[in-house]
Amino acid sequence: MKFLLKILKDFPAYLWSGWGAIASILLFIASWDVGNQIYGDLILPSPLETFQTLGLMLQDKSVIEEIKTTLYRSAVGFGFSLLVGSILGLLAGFFATASMMSRPIVTILMGMPPIAWIVLAMIWFGMGDETVIFTVVIASFPIIFVGALQGTRTLEGDLKEMADSFNLPWHMKFIDVYFPHIFSYVFPAWVSGLGMAWKIVVMAELLATSNGIGASLAVARSQLDTPTALALVSIMVGSLMFIEYIILEPIKREVELWRV
Amino acid sequence: MASLECLEVKRLNHSFGFTQILKDINFSIKKGEVLSIVGPSGGGKTTLMHLCANLLDVQEGSVENTFTSSSFAFQEARLLPWKNVIDNIAIGLLAKGIKNKVAKKMSEEIALKFGLEKDDFDKFPKDLSGGMKQRVSFARALVVNPSLLFLDEPFSALDIGLKMELQTYLIQMVKEKNLTILFITHDLMEAIRLSDKIHLLQADPGHIIKEFEYDLSQEKRDDKFVYNETAKILQDETIINTFELQTIGFK
């Protein structure tokens, strides 16, 4: 609870430090506008037009439904990866054999291109939620698994010994000695896993389903509706930026205060 | 009952793989005694200490510890990097089930006694100097008011002033609270300043080959005493051989 308050207390200062980031985003939008002036509306619609389309879309109930569908798929897939990946990673980290055996499997999972998984999933599950969710899991699971694995593998024997010498009860050992260390590995893995899930969900939808943001993107492409396509991309990028910079980054700063 | 507290090591052998580290170690410490184990580096001193402190499982022989409580100060500070100074000190108290508030207060008191300042209380270990970390580590070991204290070369990385300060504090604790100390060091002067008994541990495999005793009580030992006794002990044939001093011209 105290911890949560501290995050909220430091939040305004954190936001204030974001002016540089905002300036750089505005600069990016400005160069986008330059691109529009050079190549014309069909190739690259102006930021203004894109954001106007976005505004109209967000008032449209059917678009909100599509966003919800995508959110649901990525949340289920990412949630599963987060839970199972963290737990299995932690367990594998505690056993030398398990961590040794799991490394090559992780390399296979990570090395295989997501597009290949989508094809396989379409054959296995058909066109629908399962295919998308499966691909999201496959893409984000290894990242989280490896993070958790590294976290437990790198626990320091010295600190364990110290904890033993003071006869720390098991719950104190976990909360005060193991958890902060493991968390400093697992949390960044969660963040990158989330980014991966959010990207993969759209790709899988584009190829394998008839609803969701990805499917809308496919429709926009077939109709050469570039403003809608860019508006959809803005939704994806905007929501990821919101989650990463407004929610996750402040937490990360507080949690890792002891590091830098 | 308290006078019966003692640590008794009998016929202790220990090996890592096929390498024998310790061979037939026998000694005992009674309440209020300071026992030093000196010997060259890599001679199994730390292994012996870990066996006594139950951080390693005894393979052969026995270690009987009837002290009501004990704590350990390591060669490096071994602080939890994600906890501030006070929380680091309090960890032993919390493990004993003492309430958070009380534990914090006790930790603050002992931190001040060890020369830490109020401004330091909220600092993380990364912001502390080596000496300050070691103060915190000492405070953490002593705040639990142990009956037996294990010291594994805790002074070796400290400057001479801080070393003296902490040693004086320990001597005071031995006198006032009848603290018992098992002390490992390779520094003979340190051992002579603090100990009632010194056991010399020879390496490969580690075994005790000689014992020295000092009757003068610690607070009466001045620099002259320590220097004289150190000079004397350095003439000892066994010490010369164990530390291989003849090759550097001490003889």
What distance in Å separates residue B227's CA from the closest CA in chain A?
34
Question: What span, in angstroms and rounded, lies between the C-alpha atoms of A240 and A213?
Answer: 14
What is A96-125 written as a DSSP string?
HHHHHHHHHHHHHHHHS-HHHHHHHHHHHH
B97 pLDDT band, cuts 50/70/90, is confident
Long-range contacts, stretch A46-54, CB < 8 angstroms, 24+ apart: A49/A227, A50/A227, A50/A230, A50/A231, A50/A234, A51/A231, A51/A234, A53/A227, A53/A228, A53/A230, A53/A231, A54/A231, A54/A234, A54/A235
CATH of the domain at B201: 3.40.50.300
Cβ-Cβ contacts under 8 Å for B168 (sequence gap 6 or more): none
d(CA B147, CA A190): 46
pLDDT at B132: 87
- Per the CB < 8 Å rule, is A180 touching B80? yes
* Chain A residues with CB within 8 Å of chain B CB: 158-159, 161-162, 164-169, 172, 176-177, 180-181, 184, 257-259
Residues in chain A where the model's pLDDT stays below 70: 1
Q: Is the pLDDT of residue B31 over 80?
A: yes
Provide the pLDDT for residue B216: 82
Q: Are A131 and A72 in contact (CB under 8 A)?
A: no
- Same domain? B140 vs B151: no
Contacts of A1 in chain B (CB under 8 A): none
Residue numbers in B near A257 (CB within 8 A) = 124
Nearest by CB to A161, from B55, B82, B94: name it: B55
A to B CB pairs, distance under 8 Å: 51
Answer whether residue B249 shows pLDDT above 60. no
Residues in chain A closer than 8 A to B76 (CB atoms): 158
Indicate whether B157 pLDDT > 80: no
Q: Which of B119, B145, B171 is the last residue of a domain?
A: B145
**Non-local CB neighbours of A126 within 8 Å, separated by 6+ positions:** none
| Coil, strand or helix at B105 | helix
B172 and B243 fall within a common domain: yes
Same domain, B25 and B133: no
pLDDT for residue A194: 93
Shortest distance, CA A175 to any CA of chain B (angstroms): 11
Find the mean pLDDT for residues B168-186: 89
**Angstrom distance (rounded) from CA B163 to CA B160:** 5
- Helix runs in B100-222, H state only: 100-113, 130-143, 160-177, 188-194
| Distance of residue A166 Cα from the nearest chain B Cα, in angstroms | 5
> Does B83 contact A167 at a Cβ distance shorter than 8 Å?
no
Consecutive H or E run containing A91: helix A86-94
pLDDT score for B213? 84
Q: Domain range holding B213?
A: 2-69+147-248
Q: Which two tokens stand for residue A26?
A: 């505005």
Whether B93 and B140 map to the same domain: the answer is yes
Which of B72, B76, B124 minimises the CB distance to A165?
Answer: B72
Is B177 inside any structural domain?
A: yes
Chain A nearest-CA residue for B81:
A258
Maximum CA extent, chain A: 71
Q: Pairing between strand B148-152 and B180-185? A: parallel
Evaluate whether residue B231 is within a structural domain: yes
Most B CBs within 10 A among A161, A164, A166, hence the mutation to make, goes to A166
Q: How far apart are the first and last CA of chain B?
A: 48
Mean pLDDT for chain B overall: 86
Q: Check whether residue B157 and residue B241 sit in a common domain.
A: yes
pLDDT at A250: 86
In the chain, the amino acid numbered A240 is L
Pair (B12, B64) in one structural domain: yes
Q: Could you say which of B101, B116, B145 is where a domain stops?
A: B145
Q: Is residue B187 part of a domain?
A: yes
Residue B6 in any domain: the answer is yes
C-alpha distances out from residue A68 to A234, A248, B13, B197, Å:
16, 21, 68, 76
Query: Could you report the per-residue pLDDT of B193-212, keeping only the tens digit for each?
Result: 888 899 988 888 888 888 88
Would B136 be classed as within a structural domain?
Answer: yes
- Measured CA to CA, the distance from residue A189 to residue A166 in angstroms comes to 32
Q: Kindly report the CATH number that applies to the domain delimited by A58-255.
A: 1.10.3720.10
Residue B8 or residue A140, greater confidence: A140
pLDDT tens, residue by residue, B39-76? 888 788 888 889 998 888 888 888 888 888 889 998 88
Q: Which of B97, B124, B145 is the last residue of a domain?
A: B145
pLDDT in the model for residue B42: 78
Q: What is the pTM of this model?
A: 0.79
ipTM score for this prediction: 0.83
pLDDT computed for residue B1 by the predictor? 47
Into how many domains does chain B fold? 2
Q: Report if residue B33 sits inside a domain.
A: yes
Please state, in angstroms and as integers, the Cα–Cα distance from residue B22 to each residue in B25, B171, B191, following that order. Answer: 7, 29, 21
Mean pLDDT of chain A: 90
Please indicate, yes or no, if residue B49 is contained in any of the structural domains.
Answer: yes
Look at residue B251 and tell me whether its pLDDT is greater than 60.
Answer: no
Domain ranges of chain A: 58-255
